[in-house]
Amino acid sequence: MSDKAVLIVNTKSRRGKLWFQRACETLPRLGVPLREAIALKDPSKLPELVRREIARKTERIIVGGGDGSLSAAAKHFLDKETIMGVLPFGTGNQFARDLHIDVNVEAACKVIAEGKVMPIDVGTVGDKIFLTVTTTGITTQIAHSLTPETKRRFGIFAYAFAVRQALYKTKVFTAHITTPDETFDCRTVQVVVGNGRYHAGPFLIAPEAMINDGFLNGYAITDTSRLGLVKFAIAMMSGKQNHLQGVHMFRATSVQLATTPMQKVIVDGEEALQTPISIGLKRKAIRVMVPQDFQPEKEVEEALKQEKESNPENTPREQ
């Protein structure tokens, strides 16, 4: 097995082109020698390059890009000994947030040099995998508004504009959700199924969610009135949408989602499928570099403790 790493960066991502050279300089300085560094101008070639390096028994493949690029690469790390390094060069950088990897290039390189290897779960949907979330509803409209050009030009502010547009354009639909424990029907504008802890930026999916706990966590917005959506937006800002009666929460190892009418599905920020879909989970399927002090169990323990202290009467939720 090679003792050197390979760096592959999507230079079409928001900061990929800007930070590629800095990563090339920083990694060797921190003790991570690079056998090859590839500035990728065509993101569609990323999976092919990852497969090639895995076949060569490259010990560590460092991927730089946004969540879409990282997800496309991650599929080829499934059940392999090769370790995935993450350089968050996109706009949302949701996967990096789940792993507590800083978006600063120097800090992210330090994780690759000094961090630890952790096996994490990945979600599955159709023939695809996802690292963070699979969603339908409001997120579809957001994806339509977020072109590569707007993300590069406006960064995180592009999301704020897209969310505002989506709230006006999204139409109510019927969702039929089935898990091993329940079947649930509702009128909704958004269904979220997460593999990780966060979604839509820094917002919790659920206090107990972890990227290595063997569960999918999700919710459906059931109060689709204007007031209900405002309440949801406010609650989501503090990660407390699980206490709203207008939100149905679920936690499961698999989820079947059908809708009327059919809805487009967003997988790790990219429009990819249409309902109906079957969502599953592969346990500890990918080995990634994370910070030495990353302890998701303690993070969840602390979140649940804070929730209990702030909600001693256990505010009821809609079931």
pLDDT tens-place string over residues 78-105: 999 999 999 999 887 899 999 999 999 9
Return the exposure string of 223-259: e unless at least 16 CB atoms fall within 10 Å of the residue's CB, then b.
bbeeebbebbeebbeebbbbbbebbbbbbbeebbbbb
| Residue pLDDT, tens place only, 34-77 | 999 999 999 999 999 999 999 999 999 999 999 989 999 999 99
Q: In terms of pLDDT, which residue wins out, 91 or 286? A: 286
Instruction: Give the pLDDT score at 156.
Output: 61
With a pLDDT cut of 70, the percent of the chain lying above it is 90
pLDDT at 160 over 60: yes
| Residue pLDDT, tens place only, 265-277 | 999 988 889 999 9
Instruction: Give the pLDDT score at 305.
Output: 83
Calculate helix-pair angle for 105-114, 16-29, nearest 10 degrees: 40
The whole-chain average pLDDT of the chain stands at 89
Instruction: Give the pLDDT score at 200.
Output: 76
Distance, in Å, from the CA atom of 1 to the CA atom of 247, rounded to the nearest integer, reads 49
pLDDT at 308 over 90: no
Domains of the chain listed by start with CATH number: 5-114 (3.40.50.10330), 129-284+297-310 (2.60.200.40)
How sure is the predictor about 209, in pLDDT bands with cuts at 50, 70 and 90?
A: very high
Q: In terms of pLDDT, which residue wins out, 35 or 311? A: 35
